[in-house]
Amino acid sequence: MSKDRLSIDPTVGELHAEAQDAGAETVWERYEAQQPQCGFGELGICCRNCFMGPCRIDPFGEGADKGICGATAGTIAARNFIRMVAGGAAAHSDHGRDVATVFLAAAKGEAPGYEIKDEGKLHQVAAQAGIEVEGRDNKDIAIELGELALSQFGQQEGEVIFTNMAPESVRARWRREGIMPRGIDREIVEIMHRTHIGVDADPENILRQGSRAALGDGWGGSMIATELQDILFGTPRPVTAEINLGVLKAENVNVVVHGHEPALSEMIVVAANDPEMLKLAKEQGAKGITLAGMCCTANEILMRHGIPVAGNFLQQELALATGVLDAMIVDVQCIMPGLTDVKDCFHTRLITTSPKAKIPRATHIQFDEHHALETAKEIVKTAVLNYKNRRSPANVPTDKT
Q: Which of residues 125-164 bind a copy of itself (CB under 8 A)?
A: 150-151, 153-156
Give the one residue of 3, 23, 31, 366 binding a copy of itself; rule: CB under 8 A.
31
> Please, what is the minimum distance in Å from the beta carbon of residue 385 to a copy of itself?
24
SS3 326: strand
Name which of 195 and 290 has its Cβ closer to a copy of itself.
195
Per CB under 8 A, the list member of 163, 244, 315, 333 interacting with a copy of itself is 333
**To the nearest whole angstrom, how small is the minimum distance from the Cβ of residue 48 to a copy of itself?**
5
What DSSP element (H or E) covers 382?
A: helix 372-386
Residue from 370, 373, 326, 331 nearest 349 by CA: 326
Asked whether position 357 contacts a copy of itself by CB under 8 A, the answer is yes
Helix (H, G, I), strand (E, B) or coil at 270: helix
Residues 360-379 that bind a copy of itself (CB under 8 A): 360
Cβ atoms of 241 and 309 closer than 8 Å:
yes
Q: How far is the CB of 277 from a copy of itself (least distance, A)?
A: 28
Up-side HSE of residue 68: CA atoms within 13 Å toward CB?
A: 10
Residue 33 sits in the site that holds a copy of itself (CB under 8 A): yes
Burial tier of 133 (Cβ tally within 10 Å: 0-12, 13-18, 19+): middle
- Is 318 a binding residue for a copy of itself by CB under 8 A? The answer is no
Please name the helix (run of DSSP H) or strand (run of DSSP E) that holds residue 296, with its range, or none: helix 295-305
Q: Are 155 and 219 in contact (CB under 8 A)?
A: no
| Site map (CB under 8 A) of a copy of itself, residues 40-79, x = contact | xxx-x-x-xx--xxxxx------xx-xxxxxxx--x----
Task: Report 172-231 residues binding a copy of itself (CB under 8 A).
Answer: 178, 183, 185-186, 188-203, 205, 209
Contacts with a copy of itself, 87-126, as mask; x by CB under 8 A: xxxxx-xx--x-----------------------------
Cβ closer to a copy of itself: 190 or 266? 190
- The closest of 281, 230, 271, 310 to 385, measured between CA atoms, is 281
Distance of alpha carbon 292 from alpha carbon 284, whole angstroms: 20
- CB-wise, 207 or 289, nearer to a copy of itself? 207
Q: Could you tell me how many residues of this chain bind a copy of itself (CB under 8 A)?
A: 86
334 binds a copy of itself (CB under 8 A): yes
Residue 23 binding a copy of itself, by CB under 8 A: no
Q: Does the CA dihedral 161-165-166-172 come out positive or negative?
A: positive
- Least Cβ distance, residue 43 to a copy of itself (angstroms): 10
Please name the amino acid found at residue 75.
T
Distance from the Cα of residue 385 to its chain's centroid: 27
